[in-house]
Amino acid sequence: MANLQDVGFFRRIVNAFRSQLRLGKGESISLNDSASSVSGVLVTPEKALKLSAVWACINLRSGLVSTLPFALRTADKKIATEHPLYDIFRYAPNADMNPSDFWQALMTSIDLQGNAFAEIKRKGERIISLEVLDATRMKITRLQGGEVVYEYDEGDGTRKLPDRNIFHLKDFTLDGITGLSPLTYGVETLGLQIHANDTTAHDYKNRFKGRDVIVYRGTGQGGAPVLTEEQRKKTRKWLQEFSAASEAGRTPIMEAGFDIVNRAPSLSPIDAQLLESRQFGIEEICRCFSVPPQLIGHTSKSSSWASSYENTVLSFQAFTIVPKLQRIEQTITRKLLSPAERRIYEPKFNTEGLLRASPASRASFYTSMVQNGIYSRNYVRDLEDLPAVDGGDELTIQLNMGTLNHAANETLKRQE
């Protein structure tokens, strides 16, 4: 039984009803799979993904990262084909996933929960697989000594996992241990959008009409205007048939003492503002996920902030994708490489894959890199999935280019 004099008891009670921004020593946090908004909507991952803007943003971000070339490179920039992680990230991180599926699953978990987990399986000291875990079943505890311990709910029991065996990726974080969930902290935006969609769907179902009141005024002399139970059943059945979509626009014939009153106009100004708020909600969701609205098909004038598709992609790459890639690369270095290996190997995503959608930009980039002796022709051909050619490994430069010192020496020679 808890001791009411224990200060930690009251702290645990308070923590149970608030979102934790930081995980202090001796504290635990369980990742939630839902959050309630002020509008009364319970936002879950399933409900959030039913919003087309959320689906498009998460699919864009996770799909983009999952298709970028990734390799573990040595200090001389060669691919480390002999390292155990080469096969894991090139062919199969685990028995159920290919590398693209693996990265997409982790990135989707980050976008929904703010955290993504994979269990590191070893044979001795050799890493043999990375098993993706459900973030909503994970509980993170920071012991008084500062050590982090993970508890995973298997359904039929809880399994404790040491920090050494968990590959933990996180989104925006204040303590470096737990990521903040976009689902939780964007709950008001998502809740309003879900509520607006439900209201609009209800209005469309009712053809933007107000509630019609059917009044029975009675037909008998001196009789009370009350229907029998059998008459009510027949009336309800008739109303259901009359309310069907196929009856839209038709005028019913009222008889036997029935009358319709309190009929609203087809589209009120409030309904029109609701439709506008749904459009604004799309931009709010894009803002939460740092995605340019036009990349998910929202092309209103208010959301067009780039002058071209290329500028949009480059901005999205620089401000959204690259920071996340660097976070993943650093986590791989810290969690999957030994202290000695960190001085030898470097994990790296190749963001040049983003240029594949723009042939003109790709050609201009390759030309500049080859003419300045940075890329060889065979390296460029390999990026384009073309076979190597003889002499293509030599670095080339433009012959009319030289150093300032060389130009000064040539000038002095001519003057002599």
CA 43 to chain CA centroid, Å, is: 15
Per the rule left: phi > 0, alpha: psi between -120 and 50, beta: everything else, 394 is beta
Judge whether residue 1 has pLDDT over 80: no
User: CA-to-CA distance for 128 and 143, rounded, in angstroms?
Assistant: 29
Task: Report which residue type is found at 57.
Answer: C
Provide mean pLDDT across the span 7-27.
Answer: 59
Model confidence at 366: pLDDT above 60: yes
**253 vs 52, higher pLDDT:** 52
| pLDDT score for 276 | 67
Residue pointed to by tokens 């390999």? 382
Region of 297 on the Ramachandran plot (φ > 0 left; ψ -120 to 50 alpha; else beta): left
Residue ranges of the domains in the chain?
21-209+268-356, 211-263, 358-416
Side chain identity, residue 331? T
Q: Which two tokens stand for residue 73?
A: 């490179």
pLDDT at 269: 47
- As a whole-number percent, the residues of the chain with pLDDT over 70 amount to 71
Half-sphere exposure of 198 (CA within 13 A, CB side): 12
269 or 207, which is more confident: 207
- Per-residue pLDDT reduced to its tens digit, 121-167: 999 989 999 999 999 999 999 998 889 999 999 988 999 999 999 99
How high is the pLDDT of residue 196? 78
Q: State pTM to two decimals.
A: 0.72
Task: Report the range of poorest mean pLDDT among 185-199, 261-275, 402-416.
Answer: 261-275
Please, which contacts does 359-366 make with residues 24 or more away whose CB atoms are closer than 8 Å?
A: 361/310
50 pLDDT above the threshold of 60: yes
Distance CA 104, CA 240 (A): 46
Cα–Cα distances (Å) from 271 to 88, 246, 262, in that order, read 53, 23, 18
pLDDT band at 260 (very low <50, low <70, confident <90, very high): low
Beta-carbon count within 10 A of 133 CB = 21
Q: Is the pLDDT of residue 321 over 60?
A: yes
User: What would the two tokens of residue 21 be?
Assistant: 């921004």
Q: How far is CA 189 from CA 29, 58, 183, 212, 274, in A?
A: 24, 16, 10, 32, 14
* Rounded (5°) CA angle 207-211-217: 130
Query: Between vectors from CA 70 to CA 67 and to CA 173, what angle results, nearest 5°?
Result: 85
CA dist 58 and 64 (Å) reads 10
- Is there a contact between 350 and 68 (Cβ–Cβ < 8 Å)? yes
Give the tens place of pLDDT for each residue, 60-98: 999 999 989 898 998 887 889 999 999 999 999 999 999
> Picking from 18-22, 289-293, 317-321, which range would have the lowest pLDDT averaged per residue?
18-22
At residue 247 the predicted structure's pLDDT band, cuts being 50, 70 and 90, is low
Q: In this predicted structure, what is the pLDDT of residue 253?
A: 65
Residue 341 has pLDDT above 90, yes or no: yes
Predicted confidence (pLDDT) per residue in 270-318, tens digit: 555 566 667 778 888 998 899 998 888 877 654 454 456 667 877 888 8
pLDDT tens-place string over residues 179-227: 988 888 888 888 888 887 777 776 666 655 555 566 666 654 445 566 6
- pLDDT value of position 165: 95
Distance between CA atoms of 80 and 54, rounded to whole angstroms? Answer: 37
Of 112, 110, 132, nearest to 121 (Cα)?
132
Q: Which two tokens stand for residue 222?
A: 């001196």
pLDDT at 303: 46
Distance CA 193, CA 9 (A): 38
pLDDT at 189: 86
Which tokens hold the place of 339?
Answer: 């202290």
Q: What mean pLDDT is predicted for residues 314-334?
A: 91
Instruction: State the Cα–Cα distance between residues 20 and 135, nearest whole angstrom.
Output: 16
* E strand residue ranges, 166-312: 166-170, 213-216, 258-261
d(CA 242, CA 62): 47
Lowest mean pLDDT among 98-102, 238-242, 380-384: 238-242
